[in-house]
């Protein structure tokens, strides 16, 4: 599968998508969005892939949308544009963002759609759309308040400020910050841990968490009970319990 603006790699149960427009700071254009959606669909259908890592080439993760396409975008096209944050959020497999540099606008929205965010010390985060006279359109006004609280989210969105990785860590936007040379190894170490778990249980856990974040506590707790009860019917549950009692490592099949 050949792409022009991204790189898709698969190895030992881990897929990696690298945004690859370094001369444009990996800014999102329509081709990138289409290729990304195609790659994620391929990963969703590939049972050998258990975890997805996202990163960027050069000095950016994704530095936002390609401004050159703005003047050609009609309101209808903007309404129907692919929201990549939603695509990774809906993927029934864990997604790790390995943020290596500028993670702005649509890039920050993609990262916030991921399940885990690991940031390089060189990473920079922000929703600077206000500086162009517009607002975030890929989930920024919704996911950012849920992650860091409404007041902090409003400050970032209203000012368009760009923050350093350590500040993103302090306010709870990222899971951890690591030296640049350790970024991908850290992401892969986490991915390898996840690969060893039950794919079916991971799917149910992700669904339960995401559902709960979008509903009230009681609704979320009810949904959790449903997912927990369903997990008890899994073949992986039988294997996990059996392996624990037999003091061996489980071999999960995702069923």
pLDDT, tens digit, 9 for 90 and up, residues 58-114: 999 999 988 777 667 667 666 667 789 999 999 999 999 999 999 999 999 999 999
User: Which residue pairs from 229-233 have beta carbons closer than 8 angstroms and sit at least 24 positions apart in sequence?
Assistant: 230/204, 231/200, 231/201, 231/204
Q: Where are the alpha helices (DSSP H) in 46-179?
A: 75-80, 84-90, 106-113, 140-148, 150-159, 165-170
pLDDT tens per residue across span 187-208: 999 999 999 999 999 999 999 9
**What is the rounded distance in angstroms from the CA atom of residue 2 to the CA atom of residue 11?**
17
Maximum Cα interatomic distance, the chain, rounded to a whole number of Å: 64
Contact of 21 with 64, CB cutoff 8 Å: no
Domain segments of the chain: what residues? 6-195, 199-245
pLDDT tens per residue across span 148-189: 999 999 999 999 999 999 999 999 999 999 999 999 999 999
Pick the CATH number of 6-195 from 3.40.50.620, 1.10.10.10, 3.90.226.10, 3.30.70.270: 3.90.226.10
2, pLDDT greater than 90: no
Secondary structure class of 60 (helix, strand, coil): strand
**Which residue is it, tokens 């991204």?**
6
Secondary structure class of 77 (helix, strand, coil): helix
Average pLDDT over residues 114-121: 98
CATH number, domain 199-245: 1.10.12.10
Active site residues: 109, 129
Contact of 20 with 65, CB cutoff 8 Å: no
**What is the rounded distance in angstroms from the CA atom of residue 36 to the CA atom of residue 59?**
19
Tokens of 148: 């860091």
Query: Dihedrals φ, ψ of 50, to 5°?
Result: -105, -30
Tokens of 80: 């129907």
**What is the rounded distance in angstroms from the CA atom of residue 119 to the CA atom of residue 232?**
35
């Amino acid at each position: 599968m050949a792409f022009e603006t991204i790189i898709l790699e698969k190895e030992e149960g881990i897929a990696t998508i690298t945004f690859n427009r370094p001369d444009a700071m990996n800014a999102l254009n329509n081709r990138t969005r289409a290729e990304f959606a195609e790659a994620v669909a391929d990963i969703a259908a590939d049972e050998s892939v258990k975890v997805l890592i996202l990163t960027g080439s050069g000095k950016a993760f994704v530095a936002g949308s390609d401004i050159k396409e703005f003047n050609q975008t009609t309101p209808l096209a903007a309404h129907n544009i692919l929201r990549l944050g939603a695509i990774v959020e809906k993927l029934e497999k864990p997604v790790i963002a390995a943020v290596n540099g500028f993670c702005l606008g649509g890039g920050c929205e993609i990262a916030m759609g991921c399940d885990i965010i690991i940031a390089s010390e060189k990473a920079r985060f922000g929703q600077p759309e206000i500086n162009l006279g517009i607002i975030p359109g890929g989930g920024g006004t919704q996911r950012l308040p849920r992650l860091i609280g409404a007041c902090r989210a409003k400050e970032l969105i209203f000012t368009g400020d760009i923050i350093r990785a350590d500040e993103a860590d302090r306010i709870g936007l990222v899971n951890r910050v690591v030296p640049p040379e350790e970024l991908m190894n850290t992401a892969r170490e986490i991915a390898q841990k996840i690969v060893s778990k039950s794919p079916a249980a991971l799917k149910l856990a992700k669904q339960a968490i995401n559902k709960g974040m979008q509903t009230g506590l009681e609704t979320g707790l009810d949904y959790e009970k449903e997912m927990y009860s369903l997990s008890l019917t899994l073949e992986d549950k039988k294997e996990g319990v059996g392996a624990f009692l037999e003091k061996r490592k489980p071999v999960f099949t995702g069923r």
